[in-house]
Chains A and B, each alone.
Chain A
Amino acid sequence: MLKLLKLALVLTLCCAYAMSARAEHNSEQAWLDYHWGRGLNLPALNLNIGGYFKASYVREELSPDKFSVNDLSVFITWSPFDRLRFFAEVEQHNWLSNEGVSRFNETLSVERLFVDVLLSESSTLRFGKYLTPVGRWNVIHSAPLVWTTNRPVLTDDRSYAPRANGVLLTHSHLVNEHNLDITLYLDDSTDLEIKSRNNIVFDRAAGARVNYELTEHLQIGSSYLAYQKLSDMALADLNSPDDAPLPWHHLIGIDALWQHNGYEVLFESHYHLRDDPKHILDEKSLFIQGVAPLVAQVSAVARYEYFNSSIFRPLLQDTVAHIGVTGLAWRPFLPMVLKAEYRFGSGNQIIAPSGFYLSIATFY
């Protein structure tokens, strides 16, 4: 209780200082400002409160139709000082559907919670819980930003934990007047994890990512991640001692993004293996997605995915899945998107069943 009071006192003092410092300067700025899709902004405090919402209707083969409110997310961003920025995202996930209402506590999760320390004009140090910087989709996965209701299989939380807990350093450098971004991170989720809903949680992890702007419209990136995950404990030999080490996983990824005048091509590929001779995991996957504007803020979307994983070997003879997604996305207003898509394929019954998907999502 005393700790909480101390924390509240420090936060109040920071708020008061930030407010007095800012109030001197910006007589042009309104003290409270709301824009749909940009949240509620308090410039005097450098505080912003926003979030997003997603609801969907799913008609999958061999499953009953489902309507659900998938995401109700709240972000809080606060920059009390020039070099300091706090960010929090809390999400209510799948709490309401035609199957009933879930318990509030069970569906609530802390998606992100970190503080950024701006070390210099080009380097930032992050502490806390953040999106694992593997590829491009995972770090921008929110429904209003992406073009399809479904995630590509390789970005699902079946391979690696989509969130890490620990420290992350980013450095940006100009090479031939193009940005080169380097990211290094260390995870200790066993000690730091806060209320998660993910299938996979890291035990420990370390990774790196490099992204380079080849031209104004084309970026290429590469990611490496080494990790141990808590769910691998289930694989442990019952006869071995309790403190037997968890196997290490290694994931290497290559990705690219081209965007120009509303057209977009996104590519990601992963190679993933587990360093454990008893329980071999060998997984190769990729997807390529294209977007083309049609008329009146409507875009056509198509995606092909290839997923080949030895994880299916006990269940299926064929370990390869080919998945296609085709659909339309309509953005009648900048923060909002309505999507309709059909997913199909071969060998996809378990990981990505064929079906029809409709969704609406908006930032608020």
Chain B
Amino acid sequence: MLLLRNRIILSLLLLCSSACFADDILIVMGQSYAVEKLSIKQLENIYRRKTQLNQVGERWNPINLSASDRLRAAFAQKIYQEPSEVMEAYWNTQYFQGIMPPYVVNSVEGMLRMLETTPGAIGYLLPCQLDKRVRVVLKLTVNESLADLCEKK
């Protein structure tokens, strides 16, 4: 009986390790942009530079955080379903086609500034990093706790 109870507790803990620590990543654009909604697949195509123009004929400018950033790793895993290292092989192929990877900024503040000033710019941040310069077009839920990134802010 005791063994069964321990197993149930262990199972609940394992289940919680993925579900209880889920967090949201917000996909954001500048306030002036007219897109209302995006699907995850559309977002993936924008970040893979497969879709290069938006509905109003402006070029999409996807923005990434630096390769070592945990928020970028969680975002990449969610939309590509591959670790960001595997995606580098994809970018080698695109480079041969003359297509460059998304522009990289070093901080969330840098991302916010680019989103505010660059037409067609799209980026991602945590709910605690949201401010009035941008608006949300999609919310992604990832199986990882990113709350400590807010504490560092």
Cβ proximity bits A13-28 to B, threshold 8 Å, 1 near / 0 not: 0000000000001111
When A82-B53, A118-B52 are in contact, do A363 and B110 touch as well, CB less than 8 Å?
A: no
User: Quick check: A261 and B100 within 8 Å, CB to CB?
Assistant: no
Q: What is the distance, in angstroms, from A181's C-beta to the closest C-beta of chain B?
A: 9
CB–CB B53/A118 < 8 A? yes
Looking at B19-27, B89-97, B131-139, the stretch in contact with chain A turns out to be B89-97
Any chain B CB within 8 A of the CB of A216? yes
Query: How big is chain A's contact interface, by range?
Result: 35 or more
- Check B96–A145 contact: CB distance below 8 A: yes
Interface pair B95/A363, CB less than 8 Å apart: yes
When chains A and B are docked, how far (Å) is the Cα of A145 from the Cα of B101? 16
Q: How far is the CA of A29 from the CA of B118 in the complex (A)?
A: 11
A335 and B51 within 8 A (CB): no
Q: Tell whether A39 is near chain B: CB-to-CB under 8 Å.
A: yes
CB contacts (< 8 Å) of B118 on chain A: these are 25-26
Q: Give every chain A residue within 8 A of B53 (Cβ-Cβ).
A: 82-83, 118, 120-121
Which residue of the partner chain A has the closest CB to B42? Answer: A174
Which of B9-17, B68-76, B80-88 lies at the interface? B80-88
Interface residues of B (CB under 8 A from A): 39-42, 45, 50-55, 57-59, 81-82, 86, 88-89, 91-93, 95-101, 103, 105, 110, 113-114, 117-120
B-binding residues in A (CB < 8 A):
25-29, 37-39, 41, 43, 48, 50, 52, 75, 77, 79, 82-83, 85, 87, 118, 120-122, 124, 140, 142, 144-145, 172, 174, 177-179, 216, 260-262, 334-335, 363
The 8 closest A-B pairs by CB, nearest first: A77-B98, A82-B59, A87-B98, A177-B41, A121-B53, A118-B53, A334-B88, A25-B118
